[in-house]
Amino acid sequence: MTNNYLDYDTLQFILHEVFDMNGLVDLDYYKDHDAESMNMFLEAIRDLSEKELYPYFAEMDEKPAVFEDGKIIIHPQIAVINQKLSDAGIIAGPVPEEDGGLQMPHMAYTAATYIIDCANNHVSGYTGLTLGAAELIMEYGSDILKGIYVDKMLSGEWAGTMCLTEPQAGSSLSDITTSATPDADGSYKIKGQKIFISGGDHEYSDNFIHLTLARIEGAPAGTKGISLFVVPKKRIKEDQSLENNDVITAGDFQKMGQRGYCTTHLIFGEQDNCKGWLVGAPHKGLNYMFLMMNAARIAVGRGAAAIAMASSRAALLYAQDRKQGRPIASSGKKNVHQEPVSIMEHADVRRMLLSQKVIAEGALAIVMQTSKYYDLKRASESDADKEKYGMLLEIMTPMVKTYPAELGQQVCSDGIQILGGYGFCSEYILQQYARDIRIHSLYEGTTGIQSLDLLARKVTMQDGAALKLLMKEMMSSIGGAKEYEDLVPYATKLESKLGSVQKVLSHLLPHAMKGDFQRFTADANLFMEMMSHITIAWLWLKISISAAEGINKGDSSKLAFYESKIECMKFFYKYELSKTTSLEETIMDSDELTLKENSKVLF
Amino acid sequence: MTNNYLDYDTLQFILHEVFDMNGLVDLDYYKDHDAESMNMFLEAIRDLSEKELYPYFAEMDEKPAVFEDGKIIIHPQIAVINQKLSDAGIIAGPVPEEDGGLQMPHMAYTAATYIIDCANNHVSGYTGLTLGAAELIMEYGSDILKGIYVDKMLSGEWAGTMCLTEPQAGSSLSDITTSATPDADGSYKIKGQKIFISGGDHEYSDNFIHLTLARIEGAPAGTKGISLFVVPKKRIKEDQSLENNDVITAGDFQKMGQRGYCTTHLIFGEQDNCKGWLVGAPHKGLNYMFLMMNAARIAVGRGAAAIAMASSRAALLYAQDRKQGRPIASSGKKNVHQEPVSIMEHADVRRMLLSQKVIAEGALAIVMQTSKYYDLKRASESDADKEKYGMLLEIMTPMVKTYPAELGQQVCSDGIQILGGYGFCSEYILQQYARDIRIHSLYEGTTGIQSLDLLARKVTMQDGAALKLLMKEMMSSIGGAKEYEDLVPYATKLESKLGSVQKVLSHLLPHAMKGDFQRFTADANLFMEMMSHITIAWLWLKISISAAEGINKGDSSKLAFYESKIECMKFFYKYELSKTTSLEETIMDSDELTLKENSKVLF
């Protein structure tokens, strides 16, 4: 079995040696799992990905989901994949046992979906959204709603979606206009349009359960007047048969990437005959959505991290194989009689391969670190721990969503560059990765939205408590790294970067205190970039500590592997962490050039 | 007339106020031109672009060039475009009068093709390569070859191509194997395969004249054994009729972008019946190619600069129109009863729009500055001036090729980001710009090759003479800027950055002196990045001086325009030039992590 799209050894190392996934089963909540069962689950998913997912990956791009004769046509293999993934437990996996799930650690679920995304990033969303929609019902829905929907969704028989965006309301959800009018039978009449609905309709599911944001008549303006509804494509009649619920599919957005994953335009209630059922209390819809958002944002980061990994593996294979050029000898000339070398011997190609590697693995690390916080928040046995890991989860979430999405684009672009002209050609997969990954910095909240979330909400929450906790985590790793002579300079460097974070915050926070939020958040994106590079640098230090511990254990068969990780950390510090110096310089610059009221720019 | 893809006022300002294009006609070589004739030429091209090019731009992407039944099928509008552009003088424009051309300043030609590329970047290559091929024949070919080919090429009747790359020889041209065997009639039998041949075949030209690199039997190994041949698709019989010359089209590469521009695979001499005619002396082929390379590389930079401009204009239009969200008030809340604002009022969107603008205009400036050096090298009346501008042209060439191509990708990615989810959708043009521009850092020498050229060849040429000349140009602008109080801090900043260049070179050059060229060039890409940001910062200073002069002239109708340019310069210094601080830090880091012999990385 060849896994050209995944470095499985590194995944194992990160899961077990760096983040001790198996240790989670010591928590009571996860006690029904063990190292062997989780490993078997991952192996099964890996096998499935190799046989059923990867072989169809390029084809799903060539034959994208389309809208024809009122129907969305998706690649038929997706039916097979959804069934097999559901059977393997990919929907029920992270669901509590009391709701009929497997109550598996989120880390294991995330590792499994990471493998899936490495093999074929167009498909995990179908089951992923079904899980997300089911979780909303389980968490906030009435027992009646749970009884009707949950089992059928966990088994994959019915699909689920999230319906938030409307043509006039993208990032600004406060402007949604889809309406909900109370009906005598306790349901609501739903009327409105939703766009960008991933997995919103196709012929391989008997029903689609749309978790839909809408405004109940007379609700307050803004986000405080938004409620959450279950709106099935087909509603259940008394005799348990299904009838149409006036949910019409109006189109499928054609996209530059991730083309196997349909992106639909839905119209609710065109015939005034679309029923929805309220989830939880009225006007709390956005709160409910946001409470589920951490997992969704980890999932986006995970998808981007996986694409970056797959691109780096494809580029590496090519670079090992492709012979081209010769080194310049000390004479300043090349020896043209020498055989050409493989291109990975050229320093610049090597730099790109290394950059791909450290970003892809760093992205994987932040996904796993955040998933672990998610698990610890969910399963910790003391309230103090739940609170602590909850805050760490909150501050990591915008970064785990953004870093893999943004830096992953650089990885995929380098993947093209390594192949030269072939990288631009459709016959090589690298260009597809570059197109696919472009969505990750847009959906589930753009990078701009995540950056506002990080700086204006998470950094400042509870007087900076989340940030302090994160800094403490980092300081603990810095202390650990200082035990190893080779790591000391890097630990020291990271420590000085924590000082830089304090410095830029001291520069920015006074604007917030004065109530000038425009100025406070104007460079939020740069703060995000700086803070994520530093966070990944911390995770590389953690990786290096685990590698150094591995070396100390003296297993010579793994020595080269461990040394390689430390070398990668050094590369990250030289080529990536160094970018924060400029970011700090820019953030500290007091010129207010992006505020409209000050600007003299003529567009 | 709406030019949504081009800021024509800025083009005019850069051509005339910053670079004084019209001043070129004072040189004897360009005396047949004047301000009015050049302006009429640009207006004609602008009109043509609006009517015949832009309307077909998206369609050429949707219906790409393909290979069917042994033929390359391109969009039929390309026939119309090639004819109209040829008639307008786009091929004959820059050609010397003695060869039947118009002997127009290269700046004017470049401005015209820039307008074309803004409107539709898929088409300028067809006529551009015909010009390039004709120039090779005119410059180095015999009178017989000139007599046969030049007129028909300048009129656009016959097309021209450049055939360099082979499947096993991309960046490493020394490995080409296409062979040339002398024949009794003075011609050569050509045998071999060429790939990535832009505009290599289609049904809208009577003949294709392939300027082909091949190796004469017994030639020395490496680049010193490569000769240049004219290899027509159809050769001319005694009676002047055409017969097939055994040049077979084997395919068309399908690509992620620039899909209207065919990229062919050609086979020469499969029937042992392909004749080629030597251009100039044997074994000098690569030298001839390289002597034409400056213009070709300016052309790539121009194309990328144009795509960046077009992307920035499309994103701006959207951002002006799209209403979404509200500013946060000093209470820390948004007023949900307020109407949503246009997204360009949000600081982060504004930052992206400004970033697009300063990079796109900076890219245009480097294209025009380099074109002006090209003109001054060609037309200067003293040998000393020819030498001086020749050296400036040499050192600018790798940067003019690379900066627009690399930073243009960021511009096009921001273009997508500004549109949010719509940016990813095919119905908006932004995603096409992002796909199209990806080729520019690959063809005509990848960024890696350009970076080696800059650091290892151009910076060191004649003991650093070219670099010294460039620094002198920059110091002269710094002096000029210091006349204006508002510009002093930026002039001072640029001056300090020139010190940084000296510092990193003092760090790198000793490796070259020791003969360690691997180490010397290992971070050549980072040096390229640093040096180009600094060069663009210089050009923004030049732009600001022109703007300050404009303000001093007191034309109140242009005041806002000029002030805007100075504001953009400030933005460039804060957000773009600052990146060089980190680049300097990385280059100065002595860790040799990308050299294969030192590396402990396990791939």
Give A451-499 pLDDT, tens digit per residue. Answer: 999 999 999 999 999 999 999 999 999 999 999 999 999 999 999 999 9
Task: Please give the angle made by the CA atoms of A532, A534 and A539, to the nearest 5 degrees.
Answer: 95
Task: Name every chain B residue with its beta carbon within 8 A of the beta carbon of A522.
Answer: 347-348, 351
Q: What residues does CATH 1.10.540.10 cover in chain B?
A: 8-144
C-alpha to C-alpha distance for B64 and A409, rounded to whole angstroms = 25
Q: Is residue A163 less than 8 Å (CB to CB) from chain B? A: no
- Closest to A359 measured CA to CA, from A525, A576, A582, A584: A576
* pLDDT of A544 higher than 50: yes
User: Residue B107: how many CB atoms within 10 A of its CB?
Assistant: 27
Q: Is the dihedral of CA A589, A590, A594, A600 positive or negative?
A: negative
Residue B212: beta bridge partners? B163, B229
Average pLDDT over residues A523-527: 98
DSSP strand pairing (A208-216 vs A159-163): parallel
Is the pTM value of this prediction over 0.95? yes
Residues of chain A by 3-state class (helix, strand, coil), percent to 5: 60, 10, 25
Q: Choosing from A17, A52, A406, A444, which is the catalytic residue?
A: A444
Question: Terminus-to-terminus CA distance in chain A, angstroms?
Answer: 55
* Chain B interface test: which of A172, A544, A569, A591 (most B C-beta within 10 Å): A172
Minimum Cα–Cα distance from B429: chain A residue: A256
Confidence of residue A171 (pLDDT cuts 50, 70, 90): confident
C-alpha to C-alpha distance for B293 and B305, rounded to whole angstroms = 18
Amino acid found at B118: C
Residue A72: beta bridge partners? A67
Q: Tens digits of per-residue pLDDT, A370-420?
A: 999 999 999 999 999 999 999 999 999 999 999 999 999 999 999 999 999
Please give the full DSSP string across A196-262, using - where no structure is assigned. EEET---TT-S-EEEEEEEEETTPPSGGGG-EEEEEESEEEPTTS-EEE-SEEEEEE--BSS-TTS-
Task: Name every chain B residue with its beta carbon within 8 A of the beta carbon of A330.
Answer: 514-517
Q: Tens digits of per-residue pLDDT, B419-460?
A: 999 999 999 999 999 999 999 999 999 999 999 999 999 999
Residue at token pair 């100390």: A552
pLDDT at A3: 62
Task: Name every chain A residue with its beta carbon within 8 A of the beta carbon of B348.
Answer: 448, 451-452, 521-522, 524-525, 594
Minimum Cα–Cα distance from A433: chain B residue: B256
Query: How many Cβ pairs closer than 8 A exist between chain A and B?
Result: 295
- The H or E element spanning position A278 is strand A275-278
User: Residue A87: how many CB atoms within 10 A of its CB?
Assistant: 14
Q: Tens digits of per-residue pLDDT, B349-378?
A: 999 999 999 999 999 999 999 999 999 999
C-alpha to C-alpha distance for A231 and A229, rounded to whole angstroms = 6
pLDDT at B3: 62
What SS3 state is found at B264? strand
Q: Tens digits of per-residue pLDDT, B460-495?
A: 999 999 999 999 999 999 999 999 999 999 999 999
Length of chain A: 603
pLDDT at B176: 94
Superfamily of domain A8-153: Acyl-CoA dehydrogenase/oxidase, N-terminal domain (1.10.540.10)
Please give the full DSSP string across B436-472, using - where no structure is assigned. HGGGTTTTTS-HHHHHHIIIIIITTHHHHHHHHHHHH
pLDDT at B597: 84
Give percent of chain A above pLDDT 70.
100
* pLDDT of A329 higher than 90: no
DSSP strand pairing (A179-182 vs A159-163): unpaired
Architecture of domain B160-283: Beta Barrel (2.40)
C-alpha to C-alpha distance for B275 and B279, rounded to whole angstroms = 13
Both tokens of residue A576? 């990536």
Both tokens of residue A183? 């009906």
Both tokens of residue B174? 């020394």
Please give the full DSSP string across A117-147, using - where no structure is assigned. HHH-TTTHHHHHHHHHHHHHHHHHS-HHHHH
Q: Is the dihedral of CA B152, B158, B164, B166 positive or negative?
A: negative
Residue A337, min C-alpha distance to chain B (Å)? 7
Q: Which fold has domain B8-144?
A: Butyryl-Coa Dehydrogenase, subunit A; domain 1 (1.10.540)
CB spacing of A586 vs B575 below 8 angstroms: yes
Looking at the partner chain, which of A172, A223, A438 has a beta carbon nearest the beta carbon of B340? A172
Task: Name every chain B residue with its beta carbon within 8 A of the beta carbon of A448.
Answer: 346, 348-349, 417
Please, which residues 46-105 of chain B have a Cβ atom closer than 8 Å to chain A? none
pLDDT at A1: 42
pLDDT at A2: 52
Q: Tens digits of per-residue pLDDT, B559-577?
A: 999 999 999 999 999 999 9
Q: Is residue A444 flagged as an active site residue? A: yes
Q: Tens digits of per-residue pLDDT, A395-407?
A: 999 999 999 999 9
Both tokens of residue B172? 């490493």
C-alpha to C-alpha distance for B456 and B135, rounded to whole angstroms = 28
Task: Name every chain A residue with its beta carbon within 8 A of the beta carbon of B561.
Answer: 602
* pLDDT of A161 higher than 60: yes
How far from the centroid of its chain's Cα atoms is residue A352's Cα? Answer: 23
- The H or E element spanning position B282 is none
Q: Which CATH number fits domain A159-284: 2.130.10.10, 2.40.110.20, 3.40.50.10860, 3.40.920.10?
A: 2.40.110.20
| Sequence-distant (≥ 6) Cβ neighbours of residue B261 within 8 angstroms | B65, B122, B123, B125, B126, B198, B199
Q: What residues does CATH 1.20.140.10 cover in chain B?
A: 293-323+341-588
Could you list the beta-strand ranges (E) of B179-222: 179-182, 188-198, 208-216
* pLDDT of A334 higher than 90: no
Active site residues of B: 444
pLDDT at B345: 94
Query: Mean pLDDT, chain B, as a whole number?
Result: 96
Q: What is the per-residue burial (b if ≥16 Cβ within 10 Å, else e) of A180-201? A: bbeeeeebbbbbbbbbbbbbbb
Residue A300, min C-alpha distance to chain B (Å)? 14
C-alpha to C-alpha distance for B404 and B367, rounded to whole angstroms = 9
Please, which residues 215-274 of chain A have a Cβ atom closer than 8 Å to chain B? 221-223, 253-257
pLDDT at A319: 97
Q: Tens digits of per-residue pLDDT, A284-303?
A: 999 999 878 889 999 999 99
C-alpha to C-alpha distance for A15 and A32, rounded to whole angstroms = 19
B15 contacts B105 by C-beta, under 8 angstroms:
no
Q: Tens digits of per-residue pLDDT, A353-365?
A: 999 999 999 999 9
Q: Is residue A324 less than 8 Å (CB to CB) from chain B? A: yes
* pLDDT of B232 higher than 70: yes
Minimum Cα–Cα distance from A409: chain B residue: B413
Superfamily of domain B293-323+341-588: Butyryl-CoA Dehydrogenase, subunit A, domain 3 (1.20.140.10)
Q: Tens digits of per-residue pLDDT, B80-89?
A: 999 999 999 9
pLDDT at B1: 42
Task: Please give the angle made by the CA atoms of B316, B13 and B399, to the nearest 5 degrees.
Answer: 80
pLDDT at A597: 84
Task: Please give the angle made by the CA atoms of B517, B521 and B522, to the nearest 5 degrees.
Answer: 110
Q: Tens digits of per-residue pLDDT, A181-192?
A: 999 999 999 999
CB spacing of A331 vs B171 below 8 angstroms: no
Residue A493, min C-alpha distance to chain B (Å)? 13
Task: Name every chain B residue with its beta carbon within 8 A of the beta carbon of A334.
Answer: 174, 222
What Å distances lie between residue B408 and A257, B307, B436, CA to CA? 20, 7, 11
Residue A230: beta bridge partners? A211, A277
8-state DSSP, B532: H
Query: Mean pLDDT, chain A, as a whole number?
Result: 96
Average pLDDT over residues A126-154: 97
